[in-house]
Structure 1
Amino acid sequence: MARDAEATRERILSAATIEFAAHGLAGGRVERIAAQARSNVRMIYAYYGSKSGLFDATVADALRRMAENVPPRSEDLAGWAGDVFDHHQRFPEVLRLSMWARLERPEATAEPGDTYRSKTLSVATAAAHPLSAVDILVFIYAIAQAWQLSPEGLTGLAENPTRGEEVAARRQAVVTAVERMLHAPG
């Protein structure tokens, strides 16, 4: 019985990820999530308490998975930036969920701080840089997600912006920018 409950929770989180990434908390509909998850609204409320509770759980799950899949590497922060870029290319819904949370429910993004705290300490130990470890990680993360957040009119200026070569060039630009930031003269 516990396996079925866990499978149902996973289906609900998966459907909620799609729904909330597309529509945010205010626009997301529990009925659509239930239908997509092959569940019912009553089960969603039983598991998550409220629509906000489901949104929080969805954001926390997406950010936790990203932190697990792409942990900061103090020995190769530029490589980590490339990995974050790749993650956003493969899972754009994670970034969209995060942006909706920042707009509609900032407290939903607080949980992953614990996930990154120990990683930040290892970066602080390894980095001989005038910025704090947190600042370094925030800057690197911002650089890695910049193309996903930039207006289409700007990113679309390059010919064939969806071609693999263009994405690879953007990724390399991210890695190079982080390398230069970390090795800039103090």
Structure 2
Amino acid sequence: MPYDAEDTRRRIFDAAAAEFAEHGLAGARVDRIATAARANKQAIYLYYGSKEKLFAAVLRAKLEEVRVSVSIDPDAVAESVGQMFDWYREHPELIRLLLWEALEVSDESGDSEREWRDGFREKVGQLVDAGAVGDLPGDARIRATQDLLFTIMGLISWNFAVPRMCRLVLDEETDQAALARRRETVVEVARRLAAAPDVAAPPASAPDAAAPPAAAARAPR
């Protein structure tokens, strides 16, 4: 049978995704990836260059997968959030990879970060154009929509980042029961947030601490 380079790359990728999700970047072992992929270590270095580059490739591909598979419909935010919740429940490895990245990977800008920023700016622009946060002016509307988007992402992802805590706080016997409750709550919260522009509005600037309170300024001397 002729050597199938593409199939080898796919097996390496799948094995690496499982290994990194379980052990992180530092704890992952190239020899375990090679064994699980039924490939040799030289093939891993040939196709991906290093363990660090392989981790970056896996994370980038997983983020692209969720970007393509699920998006936020500006006209149906709550329904989109429900679809995203279901996607994360079926692909818990992405949350684990993101947590490992936050713990182990240095915060350096690069091409991938610029791509992600552009992708999020596009999503924010779609929500702004659809009037997701009401009639806030200019930059305030963009910033409020960015906060709305990140808040929704947090509402979804935290359930899968700490599933045991989710089960205990909700006092449920199984993760499945806890996640079913959380899905209903997250969808309803997303619906209310999208419909209530004041919730997403940025807070007013705090008063200058050095300035005297108005009442004190008017007090007789």
Distance 1:64 1:47 in 2: 20
Distance 2:60 2:168 in 1: 32
Report SS of the residue matched to 2:175: coil
Report SS of the residue matched to 2:73: coil
The answer to whether the aligner puts 1:121 opposite 2:125 as a matched pair is: yes
1:120 is displaced (CA, Å) by 2.7
**Do the aligned residues in 2 keep the contact of 1:60 with 1:112 (CA within 8 Å)?**
no
Distance 1:34 1:22 in 2: 15
Alpha-carbon spacing, 1:102–1:172, altered in 2? closer, same or farther (3 Å): same
- Residue 170 of structure 1 aligns with an amino acid whose one-letter code is R
What is aligned with 2:32?
Answer: 32
Gaps of 5+ in 1: none
What is aligned with 2:147?
Answer: 135
**Do the aligned residues in 1 keep the contact of 2:75 with 2:130 (CA within 8 Å)?**
yes
- Residue 173 of structure 2 aligns with an amino acid whose one-letter code is N
1:153 is displaced (CA, Å) by 4.0
68-77 vs 33-42, which moves further: 68-77
What is aligned with 2:100?
Answer: 100
- Within the candidate set 160, 169, 172, 1:159 is matched to 172
What is aligned with 1:82?
Answer: 82
Greater percentage in helix: 1
Alpha-carbon spacing, 1:160–1:139, altered in 2? closer, same or farther (3 Å): same
Q: Deviations over 1:66-85 (max 9, x none)?
A: 11111222121212221221
**Do the aligned residues in 1 keep the contact of 2:132 with 2:197 (CA within 8 Å)?**
no
The count of aligned residue pairs is 185
What is aligned with 2:195?
Answer: 183
1:178 is displaced (CA, Å) by 0.9
TM-score (norm 2): 0.75
- Counting aligned pairs with the same residue, the percent is 37
TM-score (norm 1): 0.87
- Residue 85 of structure 2 aligns with an amino acid whose one-letter code is F
Distance 1:113 1:40 in 2: 36
1:154 is displaced (CA, Å) by 5.0
Higher-Rg member (1/2)? 2
1:21 is displaced (CA, Å) by 0.4
114-123 vs 96-105, which moves further: 114-123
43-52 vs 147-156, which moves further: 147-156
Alpha-carbon spacing, 1:185–1:112, altered in 2? closer, same or farther (3 Å): closer
